[in-house]
A and B are shown apart, each in its own frame.
Chain A
């Protein structure tokens, strides 16, 4: 794929409300490849930029199932198959005694899947990203809100997109070099 010289056009906003309104209007105007940045999670913002499919719950479910099966089968195999040991006359396959560790392993695997699944789906860790080339972007982790239209968008046009973003009433607009 050809690497674009310009990554996108970025607009800076003052408040969460103006960002969410701007994101809505940009998406409605036909821009599909956009993203929004905020210093805290804003409810409904992801939907406004056209993000609906969150796979994290599925990853966690799969992780939990694998963990539970691993926990139970590990205990079964070790206690009843590989080295059956008579302890206090209890059955080799003492399933009620195996439940606690099965439960803990379910939680362990599901929890690890939640964290690392989320990071992997988000493409993190990512030490370099073009948006950091914009000096003002450092306040995205404090009190500013940003909207970007990627240059890979079909409707992207250096002049037209800038004019469109200008009309949304941002504090500033910058071109993001990649």
Chain B
């Protein structure tokens, strides 16, 4: 009986035996003393080359125009929008971990929130590229913002695309602020630990002169908590507004009320998959298994399982409504997904997002880093396919057979997409070497010696 009980007790949030000093040293050493390995240079080099490829593809796009892409009427929204939704969705897990889990007092978030927030920022940066280059004349993308222009006109605020501009730019700003405010006390730690004079000056400037006064901590915690409270409805609103871009249109396959919750769940689903794909190698390479334990992997797996089931429910309701609404166009959309020219990606989507992740019910796989890494990869592919199905397959056959068409991405589409993955990884590589990947001060609060009686 006791044996059985032991087997079901979860791993600890942090391995025992750590003190304030060891936590501080271990995390800050990655930045301050550990030399950059060959592996880091190779990884960063590849990611950097991919970023250059992206810049080349974008440069050529600016030169030649949107015709180099596969987009054509009726499919006016191709890879650009697919990738935009995919990246912005990935970002959502970072905010969920840093804000929502903070409000829910889930202390296990403390060791993964920093790099999850970094992931959010970089993912939003990748996402932001696509709408800007998709507008056709990217140098005029600033027309989206309401500024007093000589033309005298203003943006069209009744359009969900305009809502999206505000939602995504607010999200990017708040995520950056949340990340920066979390870094301030750790910057002070690095300032005090760094031996290189340049490092001391840079970290010193970034720490803003933080000295850990009790008054400062009090206001800091209030601001941090309020920011979490503000970021929580914000993150839910962002993907809701993204889903409005589709749901407010009348195209069959877009015009559904299930979209907002199903988009938010899908966003968190793919975001946690990305968190795991980053956390698993990082904890291994930098020896952070003490801080990112089996518990974190398991919890992330459980979140993926739960959100994956919500997504599955969304697919189910879409299919059900296709039949139940009695609308022949809706019914055709479902039939077309299952049997049309894009049936292969749709079935692949069902396998990646619904069937394979069910193995997470098995405890052994939830705690196995290797298995989780691959399942997460499958989910990320599946979620990309989901957005492809929503954007492309809905558009390619709508009401009139005369306006049907097909979409074939060109190499420029692929170069831009793969290039953003490179940019994301390059930013991640730099982040790991330049900033503490785990929040040091929040890890200190998890130690037993941090507890006080009044």
Contact = CB atoms under 8 A, between A and B. Distances in A.
A108 B230 CA distance: 9
B24 A104 contact: no
Contacts of B219: 54, 56, 118, 121-122
Contacts of B227: 111, 114-115
A140 to B, nearest CB: 5
Given A101-B163, A122-B220, 12 more contacts: A16-B451, A40-B217, A54-B219, A87-B156, A88-B158, A100-B241, A103-B237, A105-B166, A111-B174, A115-B181, A126-B208, A129-B209
A142 B21 contact: yes
B15 interface: no
16 contacts: A15-B449, A16-B451, A35-B213, A40-B442, A51-B214, A54-B218, A78-B155, A100-B160, A100-B244, A107-B233, A112-B177, A114-B230, A124-B216, A141-B185, A142-B20, A142-B24
Interface in A111-157: 111-112, 114-115, 117-119, 121-122, 124-129, 131-132, 137-143
Interface stretch (B146-154, B331-339, B382-390): B146-154
A39 B154 contact: no
A114 B226 CA distance: 7
Nearest to A118: B223
Interface in B33-60: none
B24 A35 contact: no
B197 to A, nearest CB: 15
A39 to B, nearest CB: 6
Nearest to A103: B237
Residue of B19, B156, B188, B218 with most partner-chain A CB within 10 A: B218
B218 A16 contact: no
A97 B241 CA distance: 12
Interface string A80-91: 001101011010
A37 B192 contact: no
B191 to A, nearest CB: 7
Residues of A in contact with B, size category: 35 or more
Contacts of B233: 103, 107
A140 B212 contact: yes
A17 B450 CA distance: 8
Interface of B is mostly: helix
B142 interface: no
Contacts of B221: 41
A107 B173 CA distance: 10
A26 interface: no
B209 A124 contact: yes
Contacts of A110: 226, 230
Interface in B223-251: 223, 226-227, 230-231, 233-234, 237, 241, 244
Closest 6 interchain pairs by CB?
A: A143-B20, A118-B223, A125-B208, A78-B154, A46-B218, A126-B209
A104 B158 contact: no
Contacts of B364: none
Contacts of A94: 157-158
Contact of B452 (A20, A82, A107, A143): A20
Interface in B398-454: 441-442, 444-445, 449-454
Nearest to A148: B213
Given A37-B211, A119-B208, A125-B208, A75 B192 contact: no
B302 interface: no
A118 B220 contact: yes
B69 interface: no
A79 interface: yes
B167 interface: yes
A142 B215 contact: no
B162 interface: yes
Contacts of A37: 211-214
